[in-house]
A and B are shown apart, each in its own frame.
Chain A
Amino acid sequence: MASEKPKLEALEEEYLKIDKLPRLTKAVENVDKIIELLSAARDQVAAAPESHTAITITKLQNPVKTAFEAVNDGLKGAAAAHKKMGKALDKSFPLKPLPTDHDAMADHVPLINRAVAMHLLREGQFSVASTFISEVQSASKSEESADLNEPMGEGDDDGDEGMNADDAASTTSSENYDLSSFHSQELQQSFAEMYNVLQELKVKNLVPAIKWARKNAVELEARGSNLEFELSRLQFVWLFKGPSFNGLPDDENNGHSGALRYARSNFARFQDRHLKEINRLACSMAFAPNIAASPYKQLFAIDSAFSDVASSFTREFCSLLGLSAESPLYLAATAGALALPQLMKYTQKTLAKGTEWTTANEMAFETPLPESMLYHSIFVCPVSKEQTTDANPPMVIPCGHVLAKETLRKLCKGPRFKCPYCPSEGIIQDARQIIL
């Protein structure tokens, strides 16, 4: 990989070159020429006396022949351009067959449909989402009626044949998750609300966001979220900056006096949690004429403040719905693209060896993901090198070291064991399961 002329760039250049080559249009032009020749000859024959016919026709032969050759050249040109494209593709974008022998997702189309629908709603694509939902529903209806008509479905990838009871159960349970059972209307309303608020934040209007935060204050506080205060503080600063900065009407509700008014009527509710910050905001009033040179200037630097509150608002909003802030479908697809090379390498190797992927619960290979895509702590037992699970949970032993339960069981001689990491010994009864 030393030749770091990026392949994609090379490919693009090549494509642009190919785009300029003559193609079928050339052939069309020459067909036109033939038509001209023929119709000119026809007119000539029709107009001239009978004796001239043979000459006209004979004269026609050669030009038509060359024109036909040109048509063929046009075709050849198109084929050559196409061939070049193929070569460029093979060189800079060589085909790597995707793992297509087994579609693990085929049985779960209803669930994927639901995920797609939720993704569309979350992205604010309400009209696409509703088209999608209605198309899915009409399709599943027609499928149901088709199923009734034909008792013996030979469907290959529907997986509705040769299934054991277990699979059947999981399929029916997943079918409960079809689109009618997830309350798309409700969800749509929620996301519509979120979009309104975000839209307003974009035009620097904090009021709807503050309203929402106040409505959900109890929940937010229980989450330890400061969102409402952050928003209110920003509102204070925003008003403080005055009409020349925020473009709001120049009245008693704006500018320094507006900020003060706002603080008086709103900050009381934050007093016990954020007294310090409120004090600082209040003190800054004294420096009002020249904030930039005051010790409070940082409070008033709000360049990124709006986008910051927008993202914490999105996060809190989704969390209260039990949803992750970033679209899971987006994360999963991105993680999928990142992990796919490993999967393909693995399938190639196992294919070559003739072994099968036998681990049912755990992947057989590592799929490194960036830090930002890790959401849970992972504990791998330092002795057995296994990840802890519900069945094999992490245990803390009296010296504070953590081992997997299985490991501990194997370490035991009678009820006693020795810590593999420090000299201390313990008894099995003293080990405690922990939740990481």
Chain B
Amino acid sequence: MADHGAAKINHDNHLLLDQPLLRLPYELLRKNIRSAHYHIEWDTNAVKDLLKETATNSINQKATKEDVVNNLDQMLARMRGLKRKLSTYAEEENRLYRQSTARVAHLRELSDIHTVEDVKYETWSRQRLDRLIVDYMLRHGFNESADALAKDRNMLELVDIDTFVTMSKIRQSLENGSVQEALAWCNENKKELRKMQSNLEFELRCQQYIELNRSSSSTRLLDAIAHARKHIIPFSNTYPTEVSHIAGLLAYRPDTPYEPYASLYSTGRWKMLADLFTDAHHKLLGLPQFPLLHIALSSGLSALKTPACHSSQQNQSHQGQKPHKSSTPGPGKEESPEPRSHGTASLQTSVCPICSTELNALAKNVPYAHHSKSHLLEHDLMLLPNGRVYGRVQLDEYAQKSRLGQGEVKDLVTGERFREAELKKVFIT
């Protein structure tokens, strides 16, 4: 439905897709501070204790000068280590603040734009699309493309390449059959994962156990039992059935046809783990589970789609003002029996985005937009004898451009000619 209100930008609601833009650096800052806190606590306590001990010993004359110097050296080494670590965190913090400020400034530009028709809106919206595309590329692991696009568009501060590259490395290691990296990540985020009740660590531990079971050597099997005692049994209250399956696995060889053991041995588990990790990662950082572009597209395609976009009478659905041209070079489209039809007559025409090759097949699967009122692109409609309806103005214009004689009109789509007397007025209520 078209109304002029629709062109107005509702600032409270226009940035739904852009929430992660500010939320992610915020979450990363939290994580950064937490890690810094951990290291400060750890090292300062150690140094404080050692200093106190040294002081007491030296007062009680239990420590020689050398002991004291040694202890001081130890403290210095610790503090230098802390400084190194802390500097990285401080740098990361500065980077995140820089990023946040740049992002807020980018979003804020929108508050000066009040309607979609504003030229500035197009610039802004294009940049948003670039962001969405980078996000899409990163989530599908096309990291190089994402990097290239972000650099080309000079918007590194507006996209989260580092976060996703780190993530995809861990994901890849899982896909290649290694749990170490993912376990390290679990360890870093232990508290949050527990809060989320994520089963990621449990599944990773199970995988380790499964891999130990895969071997036929008895020492490996003993290792498996030891591993299970240490890492899996603690979960037996949380995941009782899974743990009992895991325990039973000892009795089955990797080629067993019996469930659930066969699926436990399946290599498909690696992909499952990778997905599980991705899931936990996104949830932890407050990122949507799937690309933002998917959300934008599923809502946008429907909003733009009309029943005419996938009409079986492809050519027939096009209409003078903004028709779709059917001479698409796509497969199977040239077979229409008509002579190559020319969808448009007036210069001010453009192909509908849903009809255009890029999105046509994609939009097939989404519902079309709901309209409660007719919306006609042309006025003074005239019916041609072949059943097509065009606006008076468009017919006249086309007739003139086609150098037709007086009292003649030409179909804008099929090119058939008719006498004006054959036309009939049509009323749309």
> CB distance B2 to A370 under 8 Å?
yes
B352 — which chain A residues lie within 8 A by C-beta?
324, 375-376
Give 22 A-B contacts (CB < 8 Å), ordered by A residue. Answer: A12-B108, A19-B100, A24-B36, A61-B55, A113-B140, A120-B149, A135-B142, A156-B272, A273-B401, A312-B347, A322-B351, A334-B116, A337-B300, A340-B295, A344-B16, A361-B367, A362-B370, A387-B306, A396-B383, A434-B383, A434-B387, A434-B426
A42 — which chain B residues lie within 8 A by C-beta?
69, 72-73, 76
CA gap between A150 and B270 in the complex, in Å? 10
- The yes or no answer to B191 lying at the interface (CB within 8 A) is no
> CB distance B68 to A53 under 8 Å?
yes
> CB distance B76 to A35 under 8 Å?
yes
Given A68-B48, A369-B6: A390 touches B365 (CB 8 Å cut-off):
no
> CB distance A8 to B11 under 8 Å?
yes
- The yes or no answer to B378 lying at the interface (CB within 8 A) is yes
9 nearest A-B residue pairs (beta carbon)? A336-B300, A322-B328, A375-B352, A328-B353, A336-B296, A368-B6, A324-B351, A370-B7, A339-B303
> CB distance B429 to A332 under 8 Å?
no
> CB distance A359 to B86 under 8 Å?
no
- The yes or no answer to A9 lying at the interface (CB within 8 A) is yes
> CB distance B110 to A106 under 8 Å?
no
Interface of chain B, main secondary structure:
helix
- The yes or no answer to B389 lying at the interface (CB within 8 A) is yes
- The yes or no answer to B285 lying at the interface (CB within 8 A) is no
List A353-379 residues whose CB lies under 8 Å from chain B. Answer: 359-379
Interface flags, A225-247, vs B, CB<8A=1, else 0: 11100000000000000000000
B129 nearest CB neighbor, chain A only: A333
Q: Which of A72-80, A201-209, A251-259, A284-292 contacts the other chain?
A: A72-80
> CB distance A400 to B426 under 8 Å?
yes
List B47-65 residues whose CB lies under 8 Å from chain A. Answer: 47-48, 51-52, 54-55, 58-59, 61, 63-65
Q: Which of B89-97, B205-213, B226-234 contacts the other chain?
A: B89-97
> CB distance A224 to B303 under 8 Å?
no
Given A24-B86, A361-B367: A332 touches B296 (CB 8 Å cut-off):
yes
CA gap between A359 and B367 in the complex, in Å? 8
A215 — which chain B residues lie within 8 A by C-beta?
none
Interface flags, A242-274, vs B, CB<8A=1, else 0: 000000000000000000000000000000110
CA gap between A13 and B87 in the complex, in Å? 27
- The yes or no answer to A180 lying at the interface (CB within 8 A) is no
CA gap between A388 and B116 in the complex, in Å? 29
CA gap between A368 and B299 in the complex, in Å? 12
CA gap between A12 and B100 in the complex, in Å? 10
Interface residues on B, range: 35 or more
- The yes or no answer to A144 lying at the interface (CB within 8 A) is no
Chain B: minimal CB distance from A406 (Å): 14
> CB distance B321 to A224 under 8 Å?
no
- The yes or no answer to A428 lying at the interface (CB within 8 A) is no
Interface flags, B258-298, vs A, CB<8A=1, else 0: 00000100111101100100000000000011111111111
B355 — which chain A residues lie within 8 A by C-beta?
324, 375
A432 — which chain B residues lie within 8 A by C-beta?
383, 387
B300 — which chain A residues lie within 8 A by C-beta?
331-339
- The yes or no answer to A165 lying at the interface (CB within 8 A) is no
Chain A: minimal CB distance from B379 (Å): 11
Interface flags, B119-154, vs A, CB<8A=1, else 0: 000000110110011001100111111001100100
A79 nearest CB neighbor, chain B only: B33
- The yes or no answer to B346 lying at the interface (CB within 8 A) is yes
> CB distance B101 to A15 under 8 Å?
yes
Q: Which of A82-90, A191-199, A297-305, A409-417 contacts the other chain?
A: A82-90
- The yes or no answer to A58 lying at the interface (CB within 8 A) is yes
Given A57-B58, A98-B288, A332-B359: A435 touches B295 (CB 8 Å cut-off):
no
A336 — which chain B residues lie within 8 A by C-beta?
17, 295-301, 303
> CB distance B83 to A319 under 8 Å?
no
- The yes or no answer to A217 lying at the interface (CB within 8 A) is no
19 further A-B contacts with Cβ under 8 Å, apart from A61-B51, A154-B268, A341-B10, are A7-B12, A38-B76, A42-B73, A71-B40, A82-B26, A82-B29, A100-B289, A112-B293, A112-B362, A116-B133, A116-B136, A322-B327, A327-B358, A336-B303, A344-B16, A363-B369, A377-B308, A385-B372, A396-B424
Given A104-B365, A366-B371: A45 touches B148 (CB 8 Å cut-off):
no
Q: Which of B194-202, B217-225, B238-246, B312-320 contacts the other chain?
A: B312-320
Chain A: minimal CB distance from B390 (Å): 9
> CB distance B54 to A57 under 8 Å?
yes
CA gap between A120 and B142 in the complex, in Å? 14
Chain B: minimal CB distance from A47 (Å): 10
Given A61-B51, A89-B23, A131-B148: A50 touches B328 (CB 8 Å cut-off):
no
Chain B: minimal CB distance from A387 (Å): 6
A18 nearest CB neighbor, chain B only: B97
- The yes or no answer to B248 lying at the interface (CB within 8 A) is no
Given A103-B289, A328-B354: A155 touches B275 (CB 8 Å cut-off):
yes
